[in-house]
Amino acid sequence: MSNLPILEGKATIEFKINGSTVAIEVDGENAPITAGNFVDLVDRKFYDGLTFHRVVKQPQPFVAQGGDPKGNGTGGFVDPDTNQPRNIPLEIKPIGADEPVYSKTLPQAGISQPPILQHTKGAVAMARAQPPDSASSQFYFALADLDFLNGNYAVFGYVTEGMDVVENIKEGDKIESVQITSGLDGLKK
């Protein structure tokens, strides 16, 4: 994990989606690797032009997911310096813990405490395949409170502005651009 970027403190990120701004606060205090990976990818302009390939609103609001360079849910970030895919460990910090739990869901780790960063409406979290350490670049916005995901997926931030824009995302909509408006100095590569 020492080769992965980390975020110390918090950062503010602004997306342009459908001509409108969505601001999120990214939390490196409680999810340093997950937040660091995301801020690093934003800094590299990785997300610019990518689509939201999975948007689930029926039978009830669920997620708007993007960040896949292939646009179909199977892709992730490949480091241009090493030509290797970058995956990050599942990272979830339970309430009352000094450190996050890595590479296990909280139930797998036998922890009944809920996570500090929860899947409330507007949460931003990393998508992953079945293996806990399979997250790369795909992320999702929670379109509702999704308590059943708490402790199983890594939340790393929250929408602070533009939730109405997020709620109107349709499958195929593009991330026009993403920029870091504060906190880049906390990124350690």
- Answer for the pair 115, 106: CB distance below 8 angstroms, yes or no: yes
Q: Which CATH superfamily is domain 6-183 in?
A: Cyclophilin-like (2.40.100.10)
Q: CA–CA distance from 109 to each of 10, 27, 38, 63 (Å)?
A: 27, 22, 25, 26
Residue 40: predicted pLDDT: 98
Q: Average pLDDT for consecutive 10-residue bins of the chain (189 residues)?
A: 92 98 98 98 98 97 98 96 95 97 97 97 97 97 98 98 98 98 97
Domain ranges of the chain: 6-183
User: Which pair of tokens denotes residue 60?
Assistant: 């009830």
Residue 101: predicted pLDDT: 98
Distance between CA atoms of 174 and 134, rounded to whole angstroms? Answer: 24
Residue 2: predicted pLDDT: 76
Estimate the share of the chain in helix, then strand, then coil, as percent rounded to the nearest 5. Answer: 10, 35, 55
User: Which pair of tokens denotes residue 8?
Assistant: 């110390």
